[in-house]
Structure 1
Amino acid sequence: MTSTDDPHANQPVGDAARGNDSYQPFAHLTTEHSALYRQVMGVFVRAKQEFTVHLRPEDVHLGLPAEGRPQAESVAVALERLAKWGNLRADPDTGRVTALEDFYRSRYIYQLTRAGEAAEEALAAYDEALGRRGELQAVALADIAVQLRALLALAGQPEPDPAVAHLALLALVDRFSGLAENARAFMSSLQRTVDLHDADVEVFLAYKQRLIEYLERFIEDLVTRGAEIAVLLESLGAPHDGPVGALLRSAAAREASDAAPDAAAEALAAAERRWYGRWEGLRAWFVSVPGRSSQAKLLRSAARQSIPQLLSVVQALNERRAGRSDRSADFRELAHWFAEAPDDQARHRLWRSAFGLYSARHLTIDQEALAERETDPVPASASWYDAPGVRISPQLRRTGSYERRGRVRAVQDRSEAKVHLADLARKQAEQTATARARLATGGEVRLSGLGELDPAAFRLFLRLLGDALSAWRPGTDTVAVTTNDGTMEIRLTRLGEGTAEIRTLDGVLRGPEHLVEITDLAAEYESAGSVR
């Protein structure tokens, strides 16, 4: 088994085998014949699933794929090396000994070791994680909202059941973790789909419409459900001072109840930190704060940006299929011309014609050099290699920059501009708050009962009305939506008769009569915070 024809005899074992012995079962991944080793280990994994413990070399050889099956000698060498690395255990094969000379022959049966089985499980998990295709889970958003409403009800009880609170928090964390991980994986796979669209044009064109509809549906659900979830999270508050704090501490105490007496305090503190971190992560995913947008908002932006990217890819593919040229096609054709050029002189002419890069004659030079150039001019087509040298400034030669030293420009004082911008932002915020207060109805009213609206209130009303109408579905008479920032909610109900008129300074808006209820959620948050 150690002849000079052995392809495995002199191959490196790898740093894993020379280093820590506990990582030797991964040494077969860094060798020249790693594919063969993976196939051999796959035979043992399948045999274990079928409750087969020991395998002989000929059994392993037959278990390999028939197409491209290696020689039996190579399989035997691979088994020996896998046994040396600790993936397999080799035991003398005494079941077929019929004569004395059989005892002196190297016959072994092999089985998986614990280390080898653990290595294969790790590799299987790695392959599964890389190949997993994420998905945008609109159902998970509804489930998260349901769990938050249940927690809000528990927080309102005088003495909530610790077991019920703990299970509700566990279900919320599990659903939210799945949503976040699948969203990350989906956006990564979506970008790969956009980047690798040339792999199969027909499949991509057939897939793009379903993908765009899928993205649009998820964006719509994320806008509506995300605003509802943000409101519920604001109602539950922060972990240290909000109503949810008691539930988190109760769940932490229940988790730490089984700890040893000498480690109970440490386990309780660790459990509280863990639950506080989970809750802060959930809030950061749905609630934006000044200077930091929520992850849901970033995900919504990324999903929206991917739609025009997909459409641009489709447009480029259609133009390419229709025979229209693009820059990449031009460069490929130019590369063919370069390859077909008869000599270097022709290639130089082609280069100058294609890119227009000629000799540079615009460097800063002194008067003596200019006079010399006028006496003995150098044509612009002359090669820099053949043309005489150009005397330039030593400073330009030494530093690469030709800037004259002088007085440094004074730093501008922008304090007045900052004060102006801050005052403008404050006035805009007050104007928006006044418009929200003007539109708040305090219950259902007719559109015609809103009265005359000033320009700011009318612009805000048009945005609310547009959000409500865009969320309307056939067969429904009522729709309720929340703005992206979670400050306003509008509920619109169709009446089916009558015409509404809303008067403004710019004219009169007419349309079908509806019942409308507009709620200023920002004012409710402020009042709830002042009460607490």
Structure 2
Amino acid sequence: MAGATDAGQPARETSQGPRPFAHINAGNTGLYRGIMGAFASAKRRFTIHLRPEDVQHHLRQSGQQSPEYAVIVDALAQLCGWGNLRADPDTSRVTTVEEFHRARFLYQLTVEGEAAEEALAAYDAALGRRGALQSVALVDIVVHLRALLELAGATEPDVARVHLSLNALAGRFRDLADNAQAFMGSLQRTIELQDAEVEAFLAYKDRLIEYLERFIKDLVATGAEISELVLELERRGVSALLDVAAERESADAAPDGTDDFRGREFARCRALWAERWDGFHAWFISGSGHASQAAILRGQARAAVPRMLAVVAALNDRRAGRSDRSADFRTLARWFAQAPDDAAMHCLWRAAFGLHSARHLTIDADTVDAREQRPVPPSASWADAAPIMISPRLRKTGRYERRGRPNRVIDRTEQRRYLAELAAKEAEETAAAREVLLAKVGAPTRLSDVGHLDPDAFRLFLGLLGDALAGKTPGRTEVTTVTSDGSLLVRLTELANSGVAEIRTDMGVFRGPDHLLQIEDPMAWREAAS
């Protein structure tokens, strides 16, 4: 075997440096992976060194085909050459001079070999991971958030409890996000599977739909509680808790020879905790312009149910013998493969799809004369053939002229005049209502101080108030919005301990929570600036 000397001396690393992944593409990959598995198993048992006979015993115990002793020695030497293993002289069992001069080695994993094994184990685990929608994780997150909320309200929070609670919250949330992503990926592959056993798939379908419905219900109920806890925790000051966790982590930082190493380590830990909290916030709470990850996951889980039912319907149709489009195309493909020549294929194509030439639609006396003078062969490309002018009516109906009497031209002058007058009147009423509102609430004014409004002004007021309230999200006390035409700017501010505001109109009394309202005209700003 290449890489081993005749005396069993391990091969030296090449000038290119260690190549711990080279054994994956080697010719004897199975043996190399078995040997590296023996060292990984010994590492888990806290065993450092292995002899060739130990490796041979492990291969035999694991059910693999155990090669000869010399083959294992050569494979160990090759792995040493790639940098996966390190060989040390073994003199512990030497009893004669001949045994002393015979090369014996103890092998152990190198740093590069151990890192390669961990990477390959993580790769295999990721490929075989199914994932899960963890309702229990949602409950655990609620428990950790309540504990943090209690700590945030304390005068001097327990540093250890804060750090442990944040670490537990981050770990549980990481498991929830990773498992949900893996589950939705495996679910999509399951739905797209076309060659599954019908009975097994139908039985799996019932359990899966029940599982999805239970998780969606838990996500809706528990997700709302998590959102409220997150907002309450941010109002009480989650930044102080993140500072405590970052300070505790940076306290064990090893000095690096500079004076400000503790400050730099604290800044790094603080930025890491801030990034984790921002991700946690965005996972459960929707922001302006984008939905939360919990809402997206809920939508994907709901969409998976009808896709699953569609696959079940397709399987039932297939089992009942009904033909679908994919089966028709496969049959047509077999017919094309069995066609004796190109002419038969062309006939089959025309019969199946009916894509004939459309030149006959434009044949008239002028076209016939033009084709007689300058004939166009059937094989001519559309790009090379002379253009043909086609009437739009011919393209739409297949005839040059419309049958029957022409339609009478209707004079709609009176209707247009009426619509113009109606539009002008509405514009005047809107302008008057806008002036009334600007006069009453041009400066910040409480809703309880607005007073009486006429019907037109009240109608405009309701529309502006509705736009402002629609743009208000949980946790915000002030919202600013602009009307669709850009003519008015509305600023609505929530008041602490506000009472009930009443606005009297000709149609009745409008009541609601008292707010601070201001309506401004942006056009007036531009005119003043100019």
TM surpasses 0.5: yes
Match of 2:240 in 1: 246
Question: How does 1:395-410 map onto structure 2 within 5 Å?
Answer: none
Deviation at 1:277, TM superposition (A): 1.6
Task: Work out whether 1:30 is the aligned partner of 2:39.
Answer: no
Pair 167,19 (structure 1): closer, same or farther in 2 beyond 3 Å: same
Match of 2:325 in 1: 327
Q: How many residues align?
A: 390
Pair 65,372 (structure 1): closer, same or farther in 2 beyond 3 Å: farther
For the aligned residue pairs, the C-alpha RMSD in angstroms reads 4.4
Note if contact 1:135-1:185 (Cα within 8 Å) is conserved in structure 2. yes
What SS does the aligned partner of 2:107 have? strand
What SS does the aligned partner of 2:355 have? coil
Deviation at 1:172, TM superposition (A): 1.6
CA displacement 1:102-140 (0-9 Å, x = unmatched): 9998x7656333232332222112211221221111111
What SS does the aligned partner of 1:136 have? coil
How far apart, CA to CA, are the structure 2 residues paired with 1:388 and 1:132? 55
Deviation at 1:191, TM superposition (A): 1.2
Question: How does 1:46-445 map onto structure 2 within 5 Å?
Answer: 46=41, 51=47, 53-56=50-53, 59=56, 63=60, 78-89=75-86, 111-114=107-110, 115-237=112-234, 242-259=236-253, 260=255, 262-359=260-357, 361=359, 371-375=369-373, 382-384=378-380, 390-391=385-386, 426=464, 428-429=466-467
- The farther-off stretch of 61-70 and 262-271 is 61-70
CA displacement 1:35-68 (0-9 Å, x = unmatched): 4432342344346657571114992796397687
How far apart, CA to CA, are the structure 2 residues paired with 1:388 and 1:172? 66
How far apart, CA to CA, are the structure 1 residues paired with 2:373 and 2:462? 65
Task: Work out whether 1:21 is the aligned partner of 2:2.
Answer: no
How far apart, CA to CA, are the structure 2 residues paired with 1:251 and 1:76? 51
Match of 1:450 in 2: none
Note if contact 1:205-1:314 (Cα within 8 Å) is conserved in structure 2. yes
How far apart, CA to CA, are the structure 2 residues paired with 1:145 and 1:153? 12
Deviation at 1:99, TM superposition (A): 9.6
Pair 383,98 (structure 1): closer, same or farther in 2 beyond 3 Å: farther
How far apart, CA to CA, are the structure 2 residues paired with 1:181 and 1:150? 24
How far apart, CA to CA, are the structure 2 residues paired with 1:108 and 1:254? 50
Deviation at 1:359, TM superposition (A): 4.3
Note if contact 1:134-1:182 (Cα within 8 Å) is conserved in structure 2. yes
What SS does the aligned partner of 1:265 have? helix
Note if contact 2:34-2:59 (Cα within 8 Å) is conserved in structure 1. no
- The farther-off stretch of 226-235 and 332-341 is 332-341
Note if contact 1:369-1:390 (Cα within 8 Å) is conserved in structure 2. no
Pair 423,222 (structure 1): closer, same or farther in 2 beyond 3 Å: farther
What SS does the aligned partner of 1:289 have? coil
How far apart, CA to CA, are the structure 2 residues paired with 1:253 and 1:27? 43
Task: Work out whether 1:39 is the aligned partner of 2:37.
Answer: no
Deviation at 1:221, TM superposition (A): 0.6
How far apart, CA to CA, are the structure 1 residues paired with 2:383 and 2:279? 68
Q: Which amino acid in the other structure matches residue 36 of structure 2? A: M
CA displacement 1:354-374 (0-9 Å, x = unmatched): 23333464999xx99874325
TM-score (norm 2): 0.62
What SS does the aligned partner of 1:112 have? strand
CA displacement 1:312-368 (0-9 Å, x = unmatched): 11111111111111111112111222222233322222222223333464999xx99
What SS does the aligned partner of 1:21 have? coil
Note if contact 1:25-1:86 (Cα within 8 Å) is conserved in structure 2. yes
Residue identity (%):
51
- The farther-off stretch of 292-301 and 87-96 is 87-96
Pair 233,108 (structure 1): closer, same or farther in 2 beyond 3 Å: same
Any gaps of 5 or more consecutive residues in structure 1?
7-16, 394-415, 417-421, 434-522, 528-532
Deviation at 1:28, TM superposition (A): 1.6
How far apart, CA to CA, are the structure 2 residues paired with 1:296 and 1:149? 20
How far apart, CA to CA, are the structure 2 residues paired with 1:335 and 1:320? 19
Note if contact 1:88-1:113 (Cα within 8 Å) is conserved in structure 2. yes
What SS does the aligned partner of 1:347 have? helix
Q: Which amino acid in the other structure matches residue 55 of structure 1? A: P
Note if contact 1:363-1:392 (Cα within 8 Å) is conserved in structure 2. no
Deviation at 1:19, TM superposition (A): 7.9
How far apart, CA to CA, are the structure 2 residues paired with 1:264 and 1:71? 57
Question: How does 1:464-479 map onto structure 2 within 5 Å?
Answer: none
What SS does the aligned partner of 1:111 have? strand
Note if contact 2:56-2:67 (Cα within 8 Å) is conserved in structure 1. no
Structure whose alpha-carbon radius of gyration is higher: 2
Pair 321,183 (structure 1): closer, same or farther in 2 beyond 3 Å: same
Pair 152,48 (structure 1): closer, same or farther in 2 beyond 3 Å: closer
How far apart, CA to CA, are the structure 2 residues paired with 1:80 and 1:205? 53
Pair 60,156 (structure 1): closer, same or farther in 2 beyond 3 Å: closer
How far apart, CA to CA, are the structure 1 residues paired with 2:14 and 2:197? 44
Q: Which amino acid in the other structure matches residue 81 of structure 1? A: Q
Pair 273,62 (structure 1): closer, same or farther in 2 beyond 3 Å: closer
Pair 375,33 (structure 1): closer, same or farther in 2 beyond 3 Å: farther
Pair 93,233 (structure 1): closer, same or farther in 2 beyond 3 Å: closer
Q: Which amino acid in the other structure matches residue 215 of structure 2? A: F
How far apart, CA to CA, are the structure 2 residues paired with 1:152 and 1:2? 64
How far apart, CA to CA, are the structure 2 residues paired with 1:177 and 1:61? 36
CA displacement 1:82-106 (0-9 Å, x = unmatched): 2321223456788799896x9998x
Note if contact 1:338-1:347 (Cα within 8 Å) is conserved in structure 2. yes
What SS does the aligned partner of 1:25 have? coil
How far apart, CA to CA, are the structure 1 residues paired with 2:374 and 2:140? 84
